[in-house]
Structure 1
Amino acid sequence: MAKEIWKPGNMLYPLPAVMVSCGDREGRTNIITVAWTGTVCTNPAMVYISVRPQRYSYDLLRDSGEFVINLTTEKLLRAADWCGVKSGRDTDKWKEMHLTPGRASRLDWAPVIEEAPVNIECRVTEVKELGSHHMFLARVEAVQVDKDYMDADGRFRLNDAGLIAYSHGEYLELGKKKGSFGYSVKKKKRR
């Protein structure tokens, strides 16, 4: 198999395409779309987002030390893309995309996006200035989930929400189930 060698870069795809809502202590809020996000730790529950210091939301994040990761679905895809290419300096993204800011349960300044199926409320514990992006490490303070995706047994059916991933400049809807965690080592049941 022949391969080309490229300069160092980020080719770790797919990634979640999420809308991050944030606010400062003066009441200004904004939505920023990020793909540089992920899980850092299970206990305590921690995540990160990476943001360029030039972005409008950067100062809001620094001021309040809070943000909400709002999962993106097929229904929210246009808003997610739009919020990623437009600046909050120039427009009210909430109004333009018909999104509803809601009250976070454990945060003071950052609102949730009501239309998102999952809102992950985060408090910044550390900012790592890495280069083009600064990484905001955060502790998860609370998670809000849309009751529409709860089944009769009380299980949350997140994969029924039509989640969106970002891969190499394209948005993809997550699709067909191919297995479950541990399926490769699970013993077959005897009849």
Structure 2
Amino acid sequence: MSRTNFKPGTLLNPLPVVMAAVDDGEGGANIITIAWTGIVNSNPPMTYISVKPERYSYELLKKAGNFTINLVTQELAKAADYCGVRSGKNVDKWADTGLEPEASVMIPSPGIKQSPLILECEIKEIKKYPSHHMFVAEIINVSVADDIVDEKGKICLEDAGLVSYCHGEYLGISKRSLGRFGFSVMKPKTRKRLNREKRAKRKRK
């Protein structure tokens, strides 16, 4: 395989697309769209969002000490894009997009009602880098829409129609599975059982 070298850049792709909501301390909240986010620890569950200090949400995050991460579906892609290119200092993103705030269980910052999965996050530290500051937070509650939870209580994120961000484009995530975690070493008996369960799930739909 031939290759071309480029100067160092932020080309790790694809990335998740999320909308973070943060309490503004005045009875409202702002939404900021984030692609620079991920998981940094499993026990306790820890996440982060990286935000430029000049962004309107930056000071809100510092004051609030908490935020929600709201996963984005294909239906929410336009709203997410708007929330990423407009400042809450100048516009009401809730009104402009039709997104609705939903009270969180553990923190003041609301979730977004239309999101299939909401992570309630409590900021633990802020790591400062030249262009972005990383808000490292503990996930203290997870709220999931009932329509992506099956009868066994399993979260079926593959049915949510989620979106990824890849080199400037929003891409819908395909439901076509290439295999589940551990499939390379899975025993034939286990593979057959999982295939039966998958076929049964399709029939129920």
TM range, smaller chain: over 0.9
Aligned residue for 1:184, secondary structure, equals helix
Distance 1:144 1:189 in 2: 34
Distance 1:95 1:155 in 2: 33
> When the two structures are superposed, what TM-score results if normalisation uses the length of structure 2?
0.89
Residue-pair matches, total: 190
RCO comparison, higher one (Cα < 8 Å, 6+):
1
Gapped regions of structure 2 (runs ≥ 5): 193-205
Same amino acid, percent of matched pairs: 48
Aligned residue for 1:189, secondary structure, equals helix
Structure 2 match to 1:172: 171
Aligned residue for 2:57, secondary structure, equals helix
Distance 1:9 1:152 in 2: 44
How do 1:70-109 residues align onto structure 2 when only pairs under 5 Å count?
Answer: 70-108=70-108
RMSD of aligned residue pairs (Cα, Å): 1.4
Distance 2:153 2:137 in 1: 28
Distance 2:41 2:17 in 1: 20
| TM-superposition CA deviations, 1:114-146 (whole Å, max 9, x none) | 100000000100001111110000000101000
> When the two structures are superposed, what TM-score results if normalisation uses the length of structure 1?
0.96
Distance 2:168 2:126 in 1: 26
Aligned residue for 1:82, secondary structure, equals helix
Aligned residue for 2:183, secondary structure, equals coil
1:189, CA displacement in angstroms?
A: 2.3
Aligned residue for 2:123, secondary structure, equals strand
2:121 is matched by which residue type in structure 1?
C
2:117 is matched by which residue type in structure 1?
V
Structure 2 match to 1:68: 68
Distance 2:116 2:64 in 1: 24
1:105, CA displacement in angstroms?
A: 0.4
Distance 1:28 1:99 in 2: 13
Structure 1 match to 2:200: none
Structure 1 match to 2:20: 20
Alignment check: 8 A CA contact 1:34 1:49 kept: yes
Alignment check: 8 A CA contact 2:24 2:30 kept: no
1:12 is matched by which residue type in structure 2?
L
2:68 is matched by which residue type in structure 1?
V
Larger relative helix fraction: 2
Question: Could you list the runs of 4 or more consecutive aligned residues of structure 1 that deviate by over 3 angstroms after TM superposition?
Answer: none
Bigger-Rg structure (1/2): 2
Aligned residue for 2:62, secondary structure, equals helix
Alignment check: 8 A CA contact 1:22 1:60 kept: yes
Structure 2 match to 1:39: 39
| TM-superposition CA deviations, 1:29-82 (whole Å, max 9, x none) | 110001000001110000000000111111110111111000000110110011
Structure 2 match to 1:49: 49
2:183 is matched by which residue type in structure 1?
Y
Aligned residue for 2:49, secondary structure, equals strand
1:95 is matched by which residue type in structure 2?
A
